[in-house]
């Protein structure tokens, strides 16, 4: 489970620069997703061998100071709810402002690790001025310069000490059987997530047990429906949020981040009357980057006027939007009329099983080496790539490695060809696959 780090602070203190430095300047960066507004708000990074996700709560309303204050309170509340670690960015040029003091007052009550990053410290004089930030009452501070990167390494060293090491449990076959699927139901506001959950589990909420999650916000609730046992990751994303104007979309994505990190399979609920929109793509992207299983549920299908190929056409449009990862089950449902709810859960359980697929090395070599022998990578500069051996890695999600003489000459189109062949032969529907080419 990745830890989530939230960056909070006033506008223009350099939160986004700090965020961009973390997500772009590391080789291990996966990517940053464009948020609802002009800023990018979510990224993944790693440091000292520990992977973590970063939320930049920053900068979307432009307005008077009182609007800003309200906005910052919301950002801090979001960070407190959703993050494991909070980085509070302040500006050495401005010193402690009333708004900084206000944020510090809220943060002093929080039981999570909090780091003060005093930004724009690029000379000794400014380093001396930073002492005043002790007055925030949040303990020690770190001086950084987001623009040139000085100090960020030390700050990250301190942060990663607070991130627990991931223990890989060597579980027996029996206990593997007992691991229940963890489903998170996510989607944009008003797509029908709550209606789907209520239709699925019934108003009586036949809860078997409550297992407290790792944070007070992610609670696994065990259900048995249609003969399937599963855990629903009940996070803040499922709670009804008060309507916030233009940032409602942003908050919904940030809530989804937490649900996604804590689940095995993401059930993405899409509103059939609105189509597959940018926000749905963002959430899909998050699930894929986190290597989670995905099922897309097209809800409110009862409201759509049907012709012969309505379903096929809708499916084709969604598939186009999620390229290149298109091997994803799409189920058309109606939470209102309870249409295909069984199919939805059955599909999610199948995806959970697919994610745990293990292929024996000998079988894998027999099949895949034959394919790559007949369809080798195209030669580059007269150099021929010879693939000698391949195997599935012992990772929690499906990852494969192909050993060859010149891995640098294997380009993306060929990787996609190998992945497509692999998907044709083995069932990895709904599951992101990672393929590596390495020197033997």
Q: Which residues fall in the annotated binding site for GTP? A: 9-16, 56-60, 119-122, 187-194, 234-238, 299-302
Cβ atoms of 9 and 141 within 8 Å: the answer is no
Q: How far apart are CA 377 and CA 414, in angstroms?
A: 6
Q: How far apart are CA 342 and CA 187, in angstroms?
A: 19
Side-chain-side CA neighbours of 373 within 13 Å: the count stands at: 9
Beta bridge partners of 378: none
Q: Which of 280, 329, 277, 273 is nearest to 302 (CA)?
A: 273
**For residues 38-66, b (16+ Cβ closer than 10 Å) or e, as one string?**
ebbbbbbbbbeebbbbbbbbbbbbeeeee
Q: How far apart are CA 237 and CA 418, in angstroms?
A: 37
Cβ atoms of 405 and 422 within 8 Å: the answer is no
SS3 content of the chain, % helix, strand, coil (to 5): 40, 25, 40
Residue positions in the annotated binding site? 9-16, 56-60, 119-122, 187-194, 234-238, 299-302
Cβ atoms of 261 and 2 within 8 Å: the answer is yes
Task: Work out whether strand 50-56 and strand 3-8 pair parallel, antiparallel, or are unpaired.
Answer: parallel
Cβ atoms of 415 and 435 within 8 Å: the answer is yes
């Amino acid at each position: 489970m990745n830890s989530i780090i939230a960056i909070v602070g006033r506008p223009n203190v350099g939160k986004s620069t700090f965020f961009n430095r973390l997500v772009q300047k590391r080789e291990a960066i996966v990517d940053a997703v464009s948020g609802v507004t002009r800023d990018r708000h979510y990224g993944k990074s790693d440091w000292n061998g520990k992977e973590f996700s970063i939320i930049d709560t920053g900068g979307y309303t432009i307005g008077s100071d009182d609007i800003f204050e309200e906005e910052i309170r919301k950002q801090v509340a979001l960070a407190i709810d959703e993050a494991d670690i909070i980085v509070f960015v302040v500006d050495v040029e401005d010193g402690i402002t009333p708004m900084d003091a206000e944020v510090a007052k809220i943060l002093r009550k929080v039981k999570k690790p909090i780091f003060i990053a005093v930004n724009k410290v690029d000379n000794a004089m400014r380093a001396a001025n930073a002492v005043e930030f002790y007055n925030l009452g949040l303990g020690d501070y770190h001086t950084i310069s987001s623009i040139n990167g000085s100090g960020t390494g030390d700050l990250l060293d301190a942060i990663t000490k607070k991130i627990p090491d991931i223990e890989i449990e060597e579980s027996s076959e029996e206990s593997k059987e007992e691991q229940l699927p963890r489903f998170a139901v996510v989607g944009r506001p008003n797509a029908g997530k709550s209606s789907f959950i209520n239709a699925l589990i019934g108003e009586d909420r036949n809860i078997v047990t409550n297992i407290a999650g790792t944070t007070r916000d992610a609670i696994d609730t065990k259900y048995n429906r249609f003969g399937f046992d599963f855990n629903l990751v009940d996070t803040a994303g499922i709670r009804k949020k008060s309507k916030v104007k233009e940032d409602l979309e942003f908050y919904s994505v940030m809530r989804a981040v937490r649900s996604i990190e804590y689940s095995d399979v993401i059930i993405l609920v899409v509103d059939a009357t609105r189509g597959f929109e940018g926000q749905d793509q963002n959430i899909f992207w998050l699930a894929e980057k986190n290597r989670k299983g995905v099922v897309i549920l097209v809800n409110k299908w009862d409201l759509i006027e049907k012709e012969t190929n309505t379903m096929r056409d809708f499916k084709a449009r969604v598939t186009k939007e999620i390229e290149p990862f298109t091997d994803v089950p799409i189920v058309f449902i109606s939470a209102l009329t309870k249409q295909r709810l069984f199919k939805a859960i059955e599909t999610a359980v199948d995806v959970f099983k697919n994610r745990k697929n293990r292929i024996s090395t000998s079988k894998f070599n027999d099949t895949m080496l034959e394919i790559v022998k007949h369809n080798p990578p195209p030669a580059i500069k007269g150099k021929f790539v010879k693939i000698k051996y391949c195997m599935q890695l012992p990772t929690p999600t499906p990852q494969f490695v192909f050993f060859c003489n010149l891995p640098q000459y294997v380009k993306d189109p060929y990787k996609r060809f190998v992945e497509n062949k692999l998907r044709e032969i083995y069932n990895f529907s709904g599951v992101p696959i990672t393929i590596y080419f390495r020197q033997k």
